[in-house]
Structure 1
């Protein structure tokens, strides 16, 4: 598994830089207009819904985000694994961010628990 963020496409590196500091305006700028985000079986579609998700997700908690892994599935699909630690229930979570890229933008993001 590739751990080095430098091997990720610039779109994903820049998305995460903005996402970690909760800058929804910048992070959503890396999405396609028809992007889909799925998080915990909830689906957000299009510019307004995905921006609202990126703006509001996790804001009720304080936590740190650390990228602990990343790998390329194929030319347009990447998985980035992050570890969250904070004051949310359970205190620690490892999540896979599964990205589908189209024309160097994020067309789909599925956030799921990382398999143990």
Structure 2
């Protein structure tokens, strides 16, 4: 089912907003203790590894970019968000998919890929 921003689960919106604002500590609070995040083909398992990934992701000042929510679909406990990024990173433009799996209100799996 197609979902607009306001129709997304609260913790998914909280994660996306915190990531865009580069607030890693706030983004970490939405994950289960044994969650797994896959980004750039690497798995980050559990809160400690996810925290390290978030810290590195939000502190990288090498690149600046803007983000735009372009759409989402939800199916049961799965949420797929598409976000458009433009900036001074290699290629300059990318559409990323954030694929969330929820365990109750918390995120237990996230895959980020083009």
TM range (shorter): over 0.9
Alignment: residue pair count: 112
Aligned to 2:65: 63
Q: Alpha carbon RMSD of aligned pairs, Å?
A: 1.3
- Between 87-96 and 10-19, the greater mean CA deviation after superposition: 10-19
Aligned to 1:76: 77
TM-score by length of 2: 0.92
Gaps spanning 5+ residues in structure 2: where?
none
The superposition leaves residues 76-105 of structure 1 with CA deviations (integer Å, 9 ceiling, x where unpaired) of 101000111111000001010000000210
Q: Is the 8 A contact 1:3 1:68 kept in 2?
A: no
Aligned to 1:99: 100
TM-score by length of 1: 0.91
CA distance in 2, matches of 1:31, 1:100: 10
CA distance in 1, matches of 2:73, 2:28: 22
